[in-house]
Amino acid sequence: MKQSTRIIIILTLLYCSVASVSNAQQIGLEVDFFGYADNREYKSIYTEDKTFFGAILSPKLYFALDSNHRVYGGVHYNQDFGMHSENKERVSPIAYYNFKNKNIDFALGLMPRHERLADVPRMVLADTFMYDRPNIEGMYFSFHNQHIKQAIYIDWLSKQSPQHRERFVVGLSGKYTFGNFYLADDALLYHNALTSNAEIEDHIQDNGIVLLRAGADWSRKTFLDSLTIDAGMAIGFDRVRTEYDLRVARGFISNIYLGYKQFFLGNTLYLGDAQNLPNGDSFYQRETYNRLDLGWTPFRKGNLEGKFTASFHFAPDQVSNQQAFTLRYRFGKSLL
């Protein structure tokens, strides 16, 4: 059966099942379209010279039990352009429960990654996850009010089997605002365990990264629409049991972001020990790294945004460049 046929069947069954429940307060449809063209002319070691070019269509139905409780069901249809036998379309299910009020957001299941982890720094989670693995498969909890937002999540990457290791990540992401100033924390623990086959010689890997930053947000307090500056420390941990003991890598990281009308500039500087980051951006696997982003948003209206970014990666061995255009359109509609 073709993947497109499966999508139609899944969505039809979802709609029929929720429509049959008579005591629902609300049934609705949400659709997220994400198109991407990301050309990476990487020359440095540890990095992969690659082009990501494709689109992800993510329709989902929701069943609202009341104003706080919802159940979602849908699919991600992910298609890299230029399909051949080694580059097939991918269909990933969306199925999760969500409790949300003015302070709490809790979700359990297979939930879209972008909705909750879009702002996690690349040092913690590489942006390629948005292309290749659009779901979080696990749990997410956040508390937020006017001054605080703190989230914790677990993403199960691989279930244990005779051929596959048990792998998962546990992450934190938070921001505490005091007037024009803020503190931000981001952390990730990666656990790469064993297979269920005792004859395979595996070694358990524990890997972690912690980012702590202090910054200031002067958006709209100058002629600029956006102006944020922060700086802090990055502490990485790595251990492969029975192979080597815990290793600690420390560094300094700073960020600046400026936005004026349709244009923006972002810069990230890292100085310190080379990091071992199985889930983070590979450019941080060196002692010095600077990333400069120059961007243009040609159109932004409502839930539609198209953005072009030219990125320059300054590393001790080479200077690499990257050009990316992304387009995201999200809309929703109540059906019942």
**If the chain, 336 residues long, is cut into consecutive pieces of 10 residues, what is the mean pLDDT of each piece?**
57 54 73 97 90 95 92 93 76 95 96 95 95 95 96 94 90 96 98 82 90 95 94 96 91 97 97 95 96 95 95 95 97 86
Give the SS3 label for residue 180.
coil
Q: What is the pLDDT of residues 186-222, one digit of tens each?
A: 999 999 988 887 767 788 899 999 999 999 999 988 9
Q: What is the pLDDT of residues 66-82, one digit of tens each?
A: 889 999 999 999 988 88
Dihedral angle of Cα 275, 52, 305, 69, to the nearest 10 degrees:
-70
From residue 241, alpha-carbon distances to 133, 164, 214 in Å are: 28, 18, 34
Give the SS3 label for residue 284.
helix
**Domain range for 105:** 3-334
Residue whose token pair is 């709609």: 15
Distance between CA atoms of residues 283 and 290, nearest Å: 9
Give the SS3 label for residue 314.
strand
Using a 10 angstrom Cβ sphere, with 0-12 exposed, 13-18 middle and 19 or more buried, the burial of residue 61 is buried
Tell me what pLDDT residue 285 has. Answer: 94
Tell me what pLDDT residue 126 has. Answer: 95
Number of domains in the chain: 1
What is the distance, to the nearest Å, from the Cα of residue 133 to the centroid of all Cα atoms in its chain?
9
Kindly calculate the radius of gyration of the chain based on its CA atoms and give it in whole angstroms: 21
Distance between CA atoms of residues 172 and 124, nearest Å: 10
Strand partners, 28: 62, 334
Tell me what pLDDT residue 16 has. Answer: 55
Q: Which of 18, 90, 23 is closest to 54 using CA atoms?
A: 90
CATH number of the domain residue 60 falls in = 2.40.160.10
Distance between CA atoms of residues 79 and 94, nearest Å: 16
Give the SS3 label for residue 32.
strand
Report whether 324 contacts 37 (CB < 8 A). yes
Q: Which of 322, 326, 332 is closest to 305 using CA atoms?
A: 326
One DSSP character per residue, 235-272 reads EEEEEETTTEEEEEEEEEEEEEEEEETTEEEEEEEEEE
Alpha helices in the chain (DSSP H): 3-19, 114-117, 129-132
Report whether 267 contacts 291 (CB < 8 A). yes
Tell me what pLDDT residue 328 has. Answer: 97
Spatial neighbors of 16 by CB under 8 A, at least 6 apart, are none
Q: Give the DSSP H/E element, type plus range, for residue 330.
A: strand 319-334
